[in-house]
């Protein structure tokens, strides 16, 4: 473990800050915020609350999505002179659906030191408690706000998947019902999802289950509020087709009615459904392990 107490080295520090609960910040992050020359903030009023809570008085400068490119030039010059600069956003990890990437990239290209100070991010907090597969996931940030474009984006995401993959998306509360409708159209109403709402805050909530029931639950409420992360048990379209109707059941029918071996029945079913035999075989193993 490298627990250095030497003075902070020059360079850019991408510092993760809490996503709700102000206790979710590391001791290292607090030390960095205290010792840097300047903190570049998405919104100085928001960061002020965090700094006040921990008695930190480091000067702040605003750097948000509208001035990041211009501000980066100025901060880069300071970094070249040996400054130590921290970048924070309103919540979570800089650069994840948030400003930070432009400056980090410019500093790397200029051969300057860039350090990540890890901590909270809604994406990982939501994923690990979702109950969905964490082995293989794809983070796609925010979907397009318009209905048609959003559905197309989900269809493209489905096509881009090489196998079952948990999709992690950020979504606004006033769009969640429509997005769930689109997800249901792409992966079917029984597709498993999780919605993580108000993570680390007083009203933290996880809704888990088939997209159909989660949507019904949210639709039944007077209002849907709060920040949320949507996770979907995504599959490529071929795997969707492979699943339709139950592979094990159909194979048993073919074996019984036509006296085929399992291997030949698989070949036949692959032809019937227009999918690869290997895809069907994998789905068969999944069905067997689920006891279907
Ligand atoms: N950089 C941030 C991070 O690392 O999580 C994300 C910033 S992005 C502009 C804001 C979105 O993150 C929100 O609209 C919501 O989808 C998600 N989010 C942030 N805080 C959250 C929380 N406490 N609970 C659920 N979702 C959250």
pLDDT per residue as tens, the chain (292 positions): 566 578 999 999 999 999 999 999 999 999 999 999 999 999 999 999 999 999 999 999 999 888 888 899 999 999 999 999 999 999 999 999 999 999 999 999 999 999 999 999 999 999 999 999 999 999 999 999 999 999 999 999 999 998 899 999 999 999 999 999 999 999 999 999 999 999 999 999 999 999 999 999 999 999 999 999 999 999 887 555 555 557 888 898 889 888 999 999 988 887 777 677 887 888 888 788 877 5
Which atom of ligand 1 is found nearest the CA of 16?
4
Ligand 1 test: best mutation among 92, 94, 201, 230, most atoms within 8 Å of CB? 92
End residue of a domain, out of 86, 120, 154: 120
Same domain, 132 and 229: yes
E strands present in the chain: 11-15, 38-41, 60-62, 84-88, 114-117, 137-142, 165-171, 192-197, 205-210, 228-234
Same domain, 267 and 187: no
Same domain, 101 and 16: yes
> CB-hemisphere CA count at 13 Å for 225?
4
Question: What is the C-alpha separation between 39 and 185, in angstroms, rounded?
Answer: 45
Q: Is 36 among the domain residues?
A: yes
Same domain, 47 and 110: yes
Q: Is 254 among the domain residues?
A: yes
Question: What is the C-alpha separation between 77 and 123, in angstroms, rounded?
Answer: 32
Same domain, 35 and 137: no
The number of domains in the chain is 3
Measured in whole angstroms, the distance separating CA 39 from the mean position of its chain's CA atoms is 26
Q: Is 1 among the domain residues?
A: no
Same domain, 179 and 269: no
Q: Is the CB of 97 under 6 A from ligand 1?
A: yes
Q: Which two tokens stand for residue 232?
A: 């979907």
Q: Which residues of 100-113 are buried (b: 16+ CB within 10 A; e: fewer)?
A: bebbbebbeeeebe
Q: Is the CB of 46 under 6 A from ligand 1?
A: no
Question: What is the C-alpha separation between 93 and 91, in angstroms, rounded?
Answer: 7
Question: Which candidate, 113, 115, 43, places its Cα nearest to that of 82?
Answer: 113
Name residues whose C-beta falls within 8 Å of residue 71's C-beta, 6 or more positions apart in sequence: 40, 61, 62, 63, 103
Q: Is the CB of 199 under 6 A from ligand 1?
A: yes
- 116: DSSP letter: E
Spacing, Cα 282 to ligand 1 middle (Å):
35
pLDDT value of position 288: 83
pLDDT value of position 239: 56
Same domain, 250 and 265: yes
Q: Is 26 among the domain residues?
A: yes
pLDDT value of position 281: 85
End residue of a domain, out of 194, 213, 236: 236
Q: Is 168 among the domain residues?
A: yes
Same domain, 96 and 16: yes
Q: Is the CB of 18 under 6 A from ligand 1?
A: no
Spacing, Cα 85 to ligand 1 middle (Å):
23
Spacing, Cα 83 to ligand 1 middle (Å):
30
Spacing, Cα 75 to ligand 1 middle (Å):
26
Q: Is the CB of 91 under 6 A from ligand 1?
A: yes
CATH of the domain at 81: 3.40.1010.10
* Prediction pTM value: 0.83
Let me know: does 64 contact 46? Beta carbons within 8 Å. no
Question: Strand 165-171 vs strand 205-210: parallel, antiparallel, or unpaired?
Answer: unpaired
Same domain, 193 and 156: yes
Q: Which two tokens stand for residue 260?
A: 């085929």
Q: Is the CB of 24 under 6 A from ligand 1?
A: no
Residue 267, H or E segment? helix 262-273
Q: Is 3 among the domain residues?
A: no
Q: Is the CB of 229 under 6 A from ligand 1?
A: yes
Same domain, 174 and 147: yes
Which atom of ligand 1 is found nearest the CA of 200?
23
Question: Which candidate, 92, 76, 83, places its Cα nearest to that of 29?
Answer: 92
Q: Is 38 among the domain residues?
A: yes
CATH of the domain at 141: 3.30.950.10
Spacing, Cα 18 to ligand 1 middle (Å):
10
> What does the DSSP assignment read for 180-216?
HHHHHHHH-TT-EEEEEESTTSTT-EEEEEEHHHHHH
Question: What is the C-alpha separation between 277 and 136, in angstroms, rounded?
Answer: 22
Question: Strand 38-41 vs strand 11-15: parallel, antiparallel, or unpaired?
Answer: unpaired
End residue of a domain, out of 87, 102, 120: 120
| Domain interval for residue 231 | 123-236
Q: Is 2 among the domain residues?
A: no
């Amino acid at each position: 473990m490298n627990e250095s107490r030497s003075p902070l080295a020059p360079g850019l520090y991408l510092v993760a800050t809490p996503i709700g609960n102000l206790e979710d910040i590391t001791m290292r992050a607090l030390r960095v915020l205290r010792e840097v020359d300047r903190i570049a903030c998405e919104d100085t009023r928001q960061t002020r609350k965090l700094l006040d809570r921990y008695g930190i008085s480091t000067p702040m400068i605003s750097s948000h999505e509208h001035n990041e490119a211009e501000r980066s030039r100025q901060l880069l010059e300071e970094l070249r002179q040996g400054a130590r600069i921290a970048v924070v956003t309103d919540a979570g990890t800089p650069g994840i659906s948030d400003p930070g990437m432009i400056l980090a990239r410019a500093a790397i290209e200029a051969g300057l030191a860039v350090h990540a100070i890890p901590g909270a991010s809604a994406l990982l907090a939501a994923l690990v408690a979702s109950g969905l597969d964490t082995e293989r996931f794809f983070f796609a940030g925010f979907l397009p706000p318009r209905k048609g474009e959003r559905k197309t984006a989900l269809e493209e995401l489905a096509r881009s998947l090489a196998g079952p993959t948990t999709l992690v998306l950020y979504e606004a509360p006033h769009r969640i019902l429509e997005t769930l409708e689109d997800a249901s159209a792409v992966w079917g109403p029984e597709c498993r999802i999780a919605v993580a709402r108000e993570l680390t805050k007083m009203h933290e909530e996880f809704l888990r289950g088939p997209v159909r029931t989660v949507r019904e639950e949210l639709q039944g409420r007077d209002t849907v509020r709060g920040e949320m992360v949507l996770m979907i048990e995504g599959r490529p379209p071929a795997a969707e087709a492979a699943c339709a109707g139950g592979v094990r059941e159909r194979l048993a029918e073919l074996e019984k009615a036509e006296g085929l071996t399992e291997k030949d029945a698989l070949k036949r079913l692959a032809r019937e459904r227009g999918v690869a035999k290997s895809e069907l075989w994998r789905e068969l193993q999944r069905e067997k392990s689920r006891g279907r």
